[in-house]
Structure 1
Amino acid sequence: MIIDWQHHMSPKKVYEGRGGQGGVVIRDGKVTIHLKKEVYQVEKHLEFMAGAGIDVCVISASPVSVDQCRMCNEYYHDLRLQYPDKFYFLTPCLPLDESAFDILDQGINEYGYKGVIISPQNAGEMLDSRRLWPFYEKMSEYNLPIFIHVSGHVHGYDAYDADFNLNIAFTREADIALNTMRLILGGVLTAFPDLTFVISHLGGGISSILERVERYVDVRGEKFWTDCGGTPPFGPPYRENFRKLFDSLYFDMAGFEGGMNAVQCALTTIRTDRILFGTDYPYNFDTDGKKVAEYIRNIRSLNLNDDEIDGMLGGNAAGILGL
């Protein structure tokens, strides 16, 4: 079974509310994201899946308001009734807004959704902000995954404000890599050891920098935190304990348009049983699923055993989803 972990759908009203009439999201006079009409055209998703050879999609969206969360929740409920074997759903949530928690509860308890999706930045707060603790406490009551999708627009990166689109190509990836580190180093994973996190886009290419972080955690030890006024969330041996926490995270393979260099880099630090196939459709790849079929063939050609490849393509996701 091939499971697409990162596959986006939302109702037409949400599309239009994000700027869909013009087909773009504009911030500060600049186009940041080109929207895709396919996001609400269910038949296009089914065609894409058939062309790619995808059996099941995990559907999600990244609303920017409680109303949009509610609209997505209701839309997903209708789709779930129509396509019970094709789509599984993650309920969207704004984790700083407790008025959104009722929508989260409804999605999980009433509609049977398989987890929740949030952004790595929420009103400028990072994932280790104590303001997110009530959300983490709530999710600890459920044995379901938290999917961390890249933020639509990130705060605190003024140096990336340019007359070319660094936001979509680079800044959001740097931000999710940073927030992945903060989950570990900022104490979220030790405070909430039972939570399951899935990080999008191979952690923004986090594997390329992981050894450097490990080295400084190892060499500096407790001072890695105390030099900056912090407290270590875990004790020695620091490098080994850092790695154990990193290995508890899952990462999806979306976001690189099927680029195998990114996959090969990820495999240097991320265990195969922690990698989930994903496409980021309709925002990555064009509408021809054959390009994804080629991506799948390239994954199957990796120098890994069959069980590892089958896990990456669907088995690992099936385990998280309880299928």
Structure 2
Amino acid sequence: MIIDWQHHMSPRKVYEGRGGQGGVVIRDGKVTIHLKKEVYQVEKHLEFMAGAGIDACVISSSPISVDQCRMCNEYYHELGSQYPDKFFYLTPCLPLNEGAFDILDQGINEYGYKGVIISPQNAGEMLDSRRLWPFYEKMSAYNLPIFIHVSGHVLGYDAYDADYNLNIAFTREADIALNTLRLILGGVLTAFPDLTFVISHLGGGISSTLERIERYIDVRGEKFWTDCGGTPPFGAPYRENFRRLFDTLYFDMAGFEGGMNAVKCALTTIEPNRILFGTDYPYNFHTDGKDVARYIQDIRGLDLARDEINGMLGGNAATILG
């Protein structure tokens, strides 16, 4: 069974609330999203799945307001009755916004959604902000996964401002890699050991720099934190415990348009049983699904055991979804 972990749908009124026309959305001089009307056209998603050979999709969205979160929740509930075997759903959440937990509770308790989607940045706070502790406590009680999608509008990266599209191509990836590290180094995974996190876009390519980070932690030890006024969230041996926590994370394969170099790089530091197939449709790939079918064949051609490949393509996601 092939499961697309990162697949985006939202109702037409959310699309229209963002401008209602195909093309780019600009915020503070940065391109934050390329709007595509396919996002609300269910028949296009079914066509895509058929062409790609995808059996089921995990549906999510990244709204920019609590009202849009509510709209997505209700829309997914309608879809669930029409397509009970095609889609799983993650309830969208802006965890520091007023009323956000009411919508989260509705999605999980009333509608039976399989988890939650948030951004790496929330009201300007990073993932290790203590302001997010109540959210983590709630999700620990639910024992459901937290999907960390990229932030559309990232703060604190003024050096990346340019008259070309660094925001979508690179800045957001740097932000999600940074926040992946903060989950570990800032103590989230230590404080909430039972939480399941899925990080989008292979952690923003975090595998390419992970060895440097591990070695620096190994060399500095406790001073990695205390030199900066912090306290280690876990004890020695620091490098080994950092890696132990990193290995509890899941990562999806979306965001690279089927690029196998990114996948092969990820496999140097991420175990196959922690990788989930994803497409980022409709923001990546064409509706006919042919490019995705080729991507799946490329994944099947990896020098891995068959059960590991089957896990990446769907089995690992099925385990998380229960």
TM-score (norm: length of structure 2): 0.99
Equivalent residue for 2:284? 284
- Aligned-partner Cα distance in 2 for 1:275–1:31: 28
Please report how far the alpha carbon of residue 124 of structure 1 lies from its aligned counterpart in structure 2 after TM superposition. Answer: 1.1
Equivalent residue for 1:13? 13
- Aligned-partner Cα distance in 1 for 2:182–2:235: 16
Q: Deviations over 1:269-299 (max 9, x none)?
A: 0000000000000001122201000000000
**Match of 2:260, as an amino acid?**
M
Residue 141 of structure 1 aligns to a residue whose secondary structure is helix
Please report how far the alpha carbon of residue 29 of structure 1 lies from its aligned counterpart in structure 2 after TM superposition. Answer: 4.4
Equivalent residue for 2:226? 226
**Match of 1:282, as an amino acid?**
P
Equivalent residue for 1:96? 96
**Match of 1:39, as an amino acid?**
V
Kindly indicate whether residue 298 of structure 2 is the aligned counterpart of residue 302 of structure 1: no
Q: Deviations over 1:48-86 (max 9, x none)?
A: 000000000000000010000000000000001100100
Residue 7 of structure 2 aligns to a residue whose secondary structure is strand
The change in CA–CA distance for 1:98 and 1:59 in structure 2 (over 3 A counts) is same
Paired residues of 1:285 and 1:292 also in contact (CA < 8 A): yes
Paired residues of 1:32 and 1:165 also in contact (CA < 8 A): no
Please report how far the alpha carbon of residue 307 of structure 1 lies from its aligned counterpart in structure 2 after TM superposition. Answer: 0.4
Paired residues of 2:48 and 2:288 also in contact (CA < 8 A): yes
Equivalent residue for 2:239? 239
**Match of 1:135, as an amino acid?**
F
- Aligned-partner Cα distance in 2 for 1:24–1:262: 26
Give runs of aligned pairs for residues 14-163 of structure 1, distance below 5 A. Answer: 14-21=14-21, 23-163=23-163
Paired residues of 2:22 and 2:36 also in contact (CA < 8 A): no
Q: Deviations over 1:197-228 (max 9, x none)?
A: 00000000000000000001111000000000
**Match of 1:178, as an amino acid?**
L
Give runs of aligned pairs for residues 170-189 of structure 1, distance below 5 A. Answer: 170-189=170-189
**Match of 1:272, as an amino acid?**
P
Equivalent residue for 1:192? 192
Q: Deviations over 1:125-178 (max 9, x none)?
A: 000001101100111111110000000010000010000000000000000000
- Aligned-partner Cα distance in 1 for 2:321–2:161: 38
Please report how far the alpha carbon of residue 22 of structure 1 lies from its aligned counterpart in structure 2 after TM superposition. Answer: 5.5
The change in CA–CA distance for 1:29 and 1:224 in structure 2 (over 3 A counts) is closer
TM-score (norm: length of structure 1): 0.98
- Aligned-partner Cα distance in 1 for 2:8–2:210: 29
Residue 313 of structure 1 aligns to a residue whose secondary structure is helix
Q: Deviations over 1:93-145 (max 9, x none)?
A: 00112511011011001101000000000111000001101100111111110
Please report how far the alpha carbon of residue 30 of structure 1 lies from its aligned counterpart in structure 2 after TM superposition. Answer: 4.8
Please report how far the alpha carbon of residue 242 of structure 1 lies from its aligned counterpart in structure 2 after TM superposition. Answer: 0.2
Percent of pairs identical after alignment?
89
- Aligned-partner Cα distance in 2 for 1:64–1:226: 37
- Aligned-partner Cα distance in 2 for 1:59–1:304: 28
**Match of 1:183, as an amino acid?**
L
Kindly indicate whether residue 211 of structure 2 is the aligned counterpart of residue 214 of structure 1: no
- Aligned-partner Cα distance in 1 for 2:109–2:63: 20
Q: Does 284-293 or 203-212 show the bigger shift?
A: 284-293
- Aligned-partner Cα distance in 2 for 1:48–1:148: 24
**Match of 1:198, as an amino acid?**
V
Please report how far the alpha carbon of residue 21 of structure 1 lies from its aligned counterpart in structure 2 after TM superposition. Answer: 2.8
- Aligned-partner Cα distance in 2 for 1:28–1:94: 20
- Aligned-partner Cα distance in 2 for 1:16–1:227: 49
Residue 142 of structure 2 aligns to a residue whose secondary structure is coil
- Aligned-partner Cα distance in 1 for 2:255–2:117: 16
**Match of 2:60, as an amino acid?**
S
Please report how far the alpha carbon of residue 32 of structure 1 lies from its aligned counterpart in structure 2 after TM superposition. Answer: 3.5
- Aligned-partner Cα distance in 1 for 2:29–2:93: 28
Unaligned runs of 5+ in 2: none
- Aligned-partner Cα distance in 2 for 1:30–1:314: 35
